[in-house]
Structures are given as structure tokens and as C-alpha cells.
Amino acid sequence: MTPRQLDCGYVPLVDSAPLIIARALNFDKEEGIRLNLLRQPSWSALRDLLALGHLDCAQMLSPLPIAMSLGLGGIPCRIDALMVLSVNGNTIGVSNALADAMRGNGWDSGFQTPFETGRHLLAAAEAPLRVGVPFPFSMHAELLHIWLERSGLTTPPQIITIPPPRMAEAVANDQIDAFCVGEPWGSQAVEAGVSELILPGRAIWQFAPEKVLAVRHRWIEEEPMTVAALMRTIFHACRWLDKQDNRTLASEILMRSEYLDLSDSVIDRALMGRILPRPGSIGEDVPGFLHFARSGATFPWRSQAAWIAHRLAPRHGLNRETAIAAAKACFRADLYRANLASLGVDMPGASEKLEGSMIHRTAVASVKGDMILGPDAFFDGSIFDPTVVG
């Protein structure tokens, strides 16, 4: 039987790996589907093509399906997140001049010290701080907002959208002072000699859902069996990617011209969790820099969706309570349970958790007994309870 062809959109990034690996290693064929991977030039193009039915599924920034379902930015359309494709994986960088100014202020160049680094950044930068992010509705923007707010920033930052491959150029042209971007583009800016990385995204939130597998809500109803096959495919790819032994091969596949078309040395950094903050510096090991399956990474926690809506709603003049309810409905924990249980995947007992409550790896009740989750702490120790709105 010929496999059902699925048009699948992605934006070339290290964390497109689950889709690329699913296709390259034929995890899709085993489930009777074939992914036609269609590289997209921008998140808005990807969003429009998915909403209008030109794509069947797509990699998406985790806040994007929520924004679309809330009618924010572009095409209002009910888009659901079937599962999380990747957790963490971003870096924050500043221009060389700003890094020097921070050192002039006594910054010790520490890479995983969010409080210290934040304090020195705010002391050294001129207001308003101009920060580049890939898209207005992105985890990058959310991480920056909470980090800067809670580091004591008083003048709101100027958040500027810059396509990831142009981030280095934007720093060089003095369009932005700082950026938050997915790998390999942070490392690429270091390689270009224009900036220094000062913080991994994970130092702000240890378990931030970064990309999700997105489909139209209606498509789920129309093709439930295809949706199940797609979810199983991606789950297998994520599990394969989470094995450290497989990451060298993953890096080689990703670097190919039809996918990322970049040298494997910059791709390796994110996959190996060893980031070079400055050109020629010794790498910094960042545990959990990017994961695909471990600690229940693929599970679409409704509390993660709630956190995103909780952050988005006030900035866009929406009622928090209704926004959170709509967001929770977007993250399809119900389908995850229904479609992946047959693979023997362990499921957490609940579909919501107190975001930020796990400082260490923690055993929690699950369907099979217990599973290890976390850590998922926020840098300031705050805890988000998805059931309490306010």
C-alpha cells in the first residue's frame, strides 16, 4: 500500500530534528505515512499555509497555536498542538560591545547565572534595550520578558522580529543589542564574530516547551487514524534523538543541504549540549540544553499551555481566564494518551502540573507506577499554578 503523503512544514533549526529524522530514518514509512518536508522561509508563511490547508502538519513555536486559537496575529484558526517536539534549545546573546560593557561593570562572563548576568546586562545597556526574537509569538519572547522583568527592568524592552538566519547581521548592523534565538543561529552569531552568548534559555526556565507538532483542529476530526500514525512516528523519532549515541548521526543528517545546510560543528553544539559562548572559548556544558523525549518532554502539558496564555493575555488585552481555558484545549493531552498508550509509553497521572515546582528530577505518579519528571524550575523560583487565575 502506498503510504499516505503528508505535507509537513518546518523552519530550518536544530530542533526541526524530530521531523527530519522521522523522514530520513523512515520512522514515517513504518507507520504507513510519508512526510513531505517543506522548508518554510518564515513562521508567518508556515502559519498561513497550515491554516489554509496547504500543509497537513507543521513544526510550530509553542505559543503560536495558542495565539492563533485566540485570534491573535494573522489568521484566526483553531490549531491544536498534538505533542511537544522539543524542550529548551535557545540561547541569549548580546553584541560584543554590550558584553564588554557588562564586563566593565564587573560581570564575570558566567554563562549559567541568570541573576548576575541580568543585573549586569541592565546596568550596561541603554534603555530601551533592543532585543531580536524570531517571532512575536514565541517562547523566545516569553523567556526574555520574564527574565528581564524579574531582573528589575523598568523600561519595557523593544522586541524586534528578526528571521533567525539574519540575527548575526542584525547585531552587526546595530539594529539590536541582544537576541534570543534557537540553535544553531546563536552559535552562528558567535562564529560570525559579532556577538557573545550570555545565557542558555534553560537557565530562565528549565523545562520550556519550545516547538510543538501542530495541525488544524478540524483535520484531527477528519483523519483520526492519520493523526495517530503521525504522532507515533514523531514519538519514535524523538525517542531515537534522545539517545546521546545517536546524536552524531543526527547532526550529520541535519547538516545536509536539503535540511539545514550548515556545518555540523555548529549543529553539534546544541545536540551535544556544549555551547561556545565566545569564539575560541572552551565549551560550556549545559545539562538539558535541548531535549526531545526525556522527562516526558513530548507530553503536551495543559499547564504549559496555560502558562503561555497567562503571559500572552494581558499583553494583548484579552481576558486571562478565557484565554487560559482556550489554550488548555489546544494542547491535546487527551490525544497523546489515546494514541500513544499502545506503544507502551508511560503517561503521567495528571495532564497539568505546577509549572516550576520541580527543582530536581522528581518521581511522580503515572499510569504504570511512577515516572521521572523535571527539573522544571523558573530562575526566580516562582511557581505557576494553572488552576489559579490572576
Partner 1 sequence: MLHNLTIAVVESDRDRAREIIEGLTEGGWTNVKVIGDTVGLARKLGEIDPDLVLIDLANPDRDLLENLSAASGATQRPVAMFVDRSDDEMTRSALAAGLSAYVVDGLRKERIKPVLETAIARFQMVSQMRTELEAAKRALAERKTIDRAKGVLMRAKSLNEDEAYGLLRKTAMDQGRKVIDVAEALVTASDLLL
Least Å from the CB of residue 248 to partner 1: 23
Burial (Cβ within 10 Å: 0-12, 13-18, ≥19) of residue 368: exposed
Nearer to partner 1, 72 or 326 (CB): 72
Q: Does 113 participate in binding partner 1 (rule CB under 8 A)?
A: no
Residue 212, phi then psi, degrees to nearest 5: -130, 160
Nearer to partner 1, 123 or 160 (CB): 160
**Residues 131-150: x where in contact with partner 1 by CB under 8 A, - otherwise, as a string:** ---xxxx-------------
How far apart CA 61 and CA 69 sit, in angstroms, is: 14
**Piece of 70-78, 215-223, 341-349, 361-369 that binds partner 1 (CB under 8 A):** 70-78
Cα end-to-end span (Å), the chain: 53
How far apart CA 68 and CA 389 sit, in angstroms, is: 21
By C-alpha distance, which of 108, 50, 38 is closest to 74?
Answer: 50
Q: Does 48 participate in binding partner 1 (rule CB under 8 A)?
A: yes
CA dihedral 38, 39, 44, 50 (to 10 degrees): 10
Nearer to partner 1, 135 or 240 (CB): 135
Least Å from the CB of residue 357 to partner 1: 31
Nearer to partner 1, 41 or 128 (CB): 41
Report the half-sphere exposure of 256 (CA within 13 A, side-chain side). 11
Least Å from the CB of residue 47 to partner 1: 9
**Footprint of partner 1 on residues 267-326 (CB under 8 A)?**
315-317
Determine contact, residues 165/185, Cβ cutoff 8 Å. Answer: yes
Q: Which of 96, 109, 113, 161 binds partner 1 (CB under 8 A)?
A: 161
Query: Which residues are near partner 1 by CB under 8 A?
Result: 41-45, 48-49, 51-52, 54, 72-76, 134-137, 159-163, 165-166, 173, 175, 315-317
